[in-house]
Structure formats: C-alpha cells, structure tokens
Chain A
C-alpha cells in the first residue's frame, strides 16, 4: 500500500520538461516550456515565458529567470521572475529575488533580498470609434462623426 506524501510536488503536464532526481546538469539551461527540476543543477536556468518548479529533491546552484518560479527544494542563486515567486514550506532559498509577487509559506527558509518590480502596463490599442450611419447634417451643422474619423 503506497502512502501519499504530505506535500505533493507539482503535477507534471505534457508540456513540461523534467530533470529527474537522479540527473545532474552543469551548465546553462534554456527552455521554451515549463521546467520541473528534481535533480541537481549548477549554472543558469532560463525560461522567460514559462514556469520553473524546483521539486522537493531539487538542489539548484544557479540563477533562475522565468515567468514564475515555485520552490519546494533548495536553491542557491538569484531568482528573477516577471510574475511570481512561490516558496513552499520546507524549501530553502539563499539568494536575491526580483519579482512582481511573492509568496512564502511558514516553514520555508529564505535568506536574501526581495525587490518588487511592478509589471509594465500592456499597451492598450487605441480603438477606432464605431462606424455610425451617416446622418444628414442639418443646415449650418458639420458632421462630428465625419470630422472625428478624419482625425484618426
């Protein structure tokens, strides 16, 4: 009979690359999909638009750059995310964090600095005014719709 561990690691999705707990990587890792690290990594990890999860067996001595970072294991290195950092209970992080949001569970160990960078507002495309049926101008009036559209 198998016993369920108290804290389950993040479930893997089909589009998640995995470094298993028996694997050791030394060097630079670039990925264009989510990454789950449950082994040893030394170097750098970069996944700008995706999520990086350090599993409970993960031992990382590397800087990490990603959209989101979730830490259940141990990380020694700086972490930079465009969205959020999530440090779970029993995790250990020594390094500086730059992020928009951060969550630290009770029981997690963190030593370093936290610099919150507000996300840059996405540019809003200026919408052209909705087309309106042409109205016959009364004598002496100009058509505001026509002149407004001409400005755009």
Chain B
C-alpha cells in the first residue's frame, strides 16, 4: 500500500492534470486564445468548420464590430471575439425557444407567442449587427417562427454583414442532434452533444435559398457530419 502511494505521488509529479477549480479564468484584451481541454469524458468533439472560417474571413481586418453569438454565453467564444476587438452580444437562442414555446414545434405557430419571442430575443435597433452566429438554432424552428426570425434578423443586421447558420443535411431525420458550440480558433469548433430535438422542418438548399431570399447571397458548405453550414450576406 505504501508502494502504491509512492507510485501515485510519482505520477502526479510527472505532469498529471492540475486540479479543477483553481479559480476563475478572466478575459482581458491581452489574453490569448485557449483550446478547452475537458478533464472528464463527455460527448464532445473538435472539427474544422469551413463556414466559421468563411465567416471570420468575411469580417477580417476590421475591429470594433458588433457580433451576436447565439450559442449561449461561454468563455471561449467571448474570449475569441473580444480578442478580435469586437463587441459581443450573447444569449442561448435554443434555450430561449424552449422558454417561449416548450419543446413542441407545433407551439411555434402562435403569432402572439412568436411576437413575444422576437421581442425577448431580437429587440435591437435596426442595423445593429455586423455578424450573427446562429449555429444550429434555426433548424429547430417551425416555418412560421423561422420566417419571422429571419425577417427580424434582416432588420437588425447591417448591410454587408454576415450570418452563420448550421442546418442538418438529412431530409429524413425527425429528431436531429443539438450541440453546444465553442470557438477554438477561426476555423475550428468544439461541439458538445446536447441530445436530440425535433427538427422544425426538412431543409434543403432550395428552401434555404428561398428562406434567405431577401439577403444578398447564400453560400453553402457541406460537412462530413451531414451538416449544412450556411453563410448569408445581408
């Protein structure tokens, strides 16, 4: 037993993971990027994202932009955007959908609830945002809510601004995976599985182009995970 104790001490001294909870991690203008390392086993993965890369390429070389991140406030995304010199607006849109409508997409057809949802989540002046990161939130909206949300986004985005959204490429799935998204760098994202949710509708390139018909352009990237990454220019 004494030998086991000595062995465990030796292992700790040779680079074991430092204890969790060593204090809050602060973002300041001089803080660098950091890739999140999970110390526990969770359903997460890291992958390249052409859509994210295109989004940051499109807003490159400018500081002081207003970027709306709808992944839910997390230190990594805030760090990344602030270190680019931007002002960040953040909220968890998927959580807001649940709060306003519950998990049943059928509840999303009520016009007064839709108006309440837009008031709670997109109550910004016109032409506020230079970039909007919707991640996968739009794919959980039924047609009426989705159309109203996209119209509101058009109003609150500045001309020549960009929007990033992910949609499942599968036209058969009724329930689709939901993820928490964290930015690792300008072309890499960390995904944490949040289970599955009912898809609001079936998505294909044609109906997405129609959905964003008022916008200037729509660009698609297809991933190996059957996800359609979309960059839309206002």
Which residue numbers of A lie inside 8 Å of B, CB to CB? 84, 86-88, 100-106, 108-116, 118
- 8 Å CB contacts to A: which residues of B28-58? 28-29
Partner of B90 from the list A100, A101, A106, A114 (CB cut-off 8 Å) is A114
**B82 at interface, CB cutoff 8 A:** yes
**B89 at interface, CB cutoff 8 A:** yes
Residues from chain B with Cβ under 8 Å of A118 in the complex: 29
Known contacts A103-B26, A113-B88, A116-B82; 10 additional CB pairs below 8 A are A88-B24, A101-B26, A101-B27, A101-B28, A112-B89, A113-B87, A113-B90, A115-B87, A116-B27, A116-B28
Enumerate 20 A-B pairs (CB-CB under 8 Å) in ascending A order. A84-B26, A86-B26, A100-B28, A102-B26, A104-B73, A105-B24, A106-B75, A108-B73, A109-B73, A110-B90, A111-B73, A111-B91, A111-B92, A113-B88, A113-B90, A114-B82, A114-B87, A114-B89, A115-B87, A116-B82
**B78 at interface, CB cutoff 8 A:** yes
Q: A103-B24, A105-B24 are in contact. Are A116 and B29 (CB under 8 A)?
A: yes
Bound complex: CA A101 to CA B26 (Å)? 6
Q: Cβ of A104 and Cβ of B82 under 8 Å apart?
A: no
> Please, which residue of chain B has its CB at the minimum distance from the CB of A110?
B73
Q: A84-B26, A116-B27, A118-B29 are in contact. Are A104 and B75 (CB under 8 A)?
A: yes
Residues from chain A with Cβ under 8 Å of B78 in the complex: 102, 104, 114
Residues from chain A with Cβ under 8 Å of B89 in the complex: 112-114
**B188 at interface, CB cutoff 8 A:** no
**B25 at interface, CB cutoff 8 A:** yes
Partner of A114 from the list B28, B88, B95 (CB cut-off 8 Å) is B88
Nearest CB of A to B133, in Å: 14
Residues from chain A with Cβ under 8 Å of B223 in the complex: none
Residue-wise interface mask of B (58-99) relative to A, using a CB-CB cutoff of 8 A (1 in contact, 0 not): 000000001000001111001000100001111110010000
Residues from chain B with Cβ under 8 Å of A106 in the complex: 74-75
Residues from chain A with Cβ under 8 Å of B90 in the complex: 110-114
Residues from chain A with Cβ under 8 Å of B87 in the complex: 113-115
Bound complex: CA A88 to CA B89 (Å)? 18
> Please, which residue of chain A has its CB at the minimum distance from the CB of B24?
A103
Which residue numbers of B lie inside 8 Å of A, CB to CB? 24-29, 66, 72-75, 78, 82, 87-92, 95
Nearest CB of B to A69, in Å: 12
Nearest CB of B to A4, in Å: 14
> Please, which residue of chain B has its CB at the minimum distance from the CB of A85?
B26
Q: A102-B78, A104-B74 are in contact. Are A109 and B92 (CB under 8 A)?
A: yes
Bound complex: CA A118 to CA B82 (Å)? 11
> Please, which residue of chain B has its CB at the minimum distance from the CB of A111?
B91
Residues from chain B with Cβ under 8 Å of A112 in the complex: 89-91
Residues from chain B with Cβ under 8 Å of A110 in the complex: 73, 90-91
Nearest CB of A to B163, in Å: 18
Bound complex: CA A102 to CA B24 (Å)? 9
Nearest CB of A to B68, in Å: 9
Nearest CB of B to A30, in Å: 27
> Please, which residue of chain B has its CB at the minimum distance from the CB of A94?
B91
Bound complex: CA A64 to CA B28 (Å)? 20
Bound complex: CA A84 to CA B24 (Å)? 11
Nearest CB of B to A78, in Å: 13
> Please, which residue of chain B has its CB at the minimum distance from the CB of A114?
B88
Residues from chain A with Cβ under 8 Å of B92 in the complex: 109, 111
Bound complex: CA A79 to CA B165 (Å)? 30
Q: Cβ of B88 and Cβ of A103 under 8 Å apart?
A: no
Bound complex: CA A114 to CA B24 (Å)? 17
- Across the A-B interface, the 7 shortest Cβ-Cβ residue pairs: A110-B73, A103-B24, A111-B91, A101-B26, A101-B28, A113-B89, A114-B88
